[in-house]
Amino acid sequence: MNKLPLIFLGVFLTFASSWIGLVAYPYLSLGKMQPLPDEETGGYLPPAQSGLAVAGQKAYAANGCVYCHSQQVRLAPLSTDIAKGLGPRQTVARDYIREQPAFLGTMRTGPDLSNIGVRQPDANWHHKHLYEPKTVTDWSVMPSFRYLYKMQKIQGQPSDDAVKGLSGPHAPAPGYEVVPTEEAKALVAYLISLKRNFPLPESPEPPAK
């Protein structure tokens, strides 16, 4: 192998094969997928996201939620995700077309969040959890995201968006309240929007056992 042009050609072609298969192909097929019309509501599947939820994706990325939480429900026998209630069906490519980026995740140091909006639709629960995870689950190893909240003195009436039910070392002292920043509100709006339980023709619900 003393001919550099030959080495170059081989090096180029072998790599080009995977570039076509794993980059160009998904770009042209999965990357061009469209939402389906939803006949019941006249909307689309997956449903459009609110502006706040779109902003919440930025907060999800900036604070690295993806390093502990996946967003993939997989079929049996590869997993027991559906039996464990992570979602009613497998998540498929169309589920992610509005995600920027698509937080598929590779770790489950924390639970899967594909359907967290179904399991926990209450915004105050999420704020409590993000502010001090141990108030919701005492064995949790999730870090506190207190820095997304403001502690302030109550001026007259408590604020409408003040987080309710906080306890523990960082709970507000009497006369004080904890209110979410815009970033925290966006993040919670995004989490609540995570509902991959609508029907998609390419992903039928497996029969319950």
Of 85-114, binders to another protein (CB under 8 A) are 90-109, 111
C-beta of 14 vs 41, nearer to another protein = 14
- For residues 165 and 40, give the distance between their C-alpha atoms in angstroms, rounded to a whole number: 38
Should residue 176 be labelled a site residue for another protein when binding is judged by CB under 8 A?
no
Rounded to the nearest whole angstrom, what is the least distance from the CB of residue 26 to another protein in the complex? 4
Should residue 167 be labelled a site residue for another protein when binding is judged by CB under 8 A?
no
How many residues bind to another protein according to rule CB under 8 A? 75
Rounded to the nearest whole angstrom, what is the least distance from the CB of residue 78 to another protein in the complex? 4
Peptide bond into 101 cis (omega under 30): yes
Q: Which of 189, 193, 187 is nearest to 96 (CA)?
A: 193
Can you tell me which of 55, 115, 129, 145 binds another protein, judged by CB under 8 A? Answer: 145
Should residue 201 be labelled a site residue for another protein when binding is judged by CB under 8 A?
no
What one-letter code names the amino acid at 148? Answer: L
Should residue 68 be labelled a site residue for another protein when binding is judged by CB under 8 A?
yes
**Contact indicator for 148, 60 with CB cutoff of 8 Å:** no
What one-letter code names the amino acid at 31? Answer: G
C-beta of 156 vs 208, nearer to another protein = 208
Burial of 63 (0-12, 13-18, 19+ CB in 10 A): middle
Should residue 80 be labelled a site residue for another protein when binding is judged by CB under 8 A?
yes
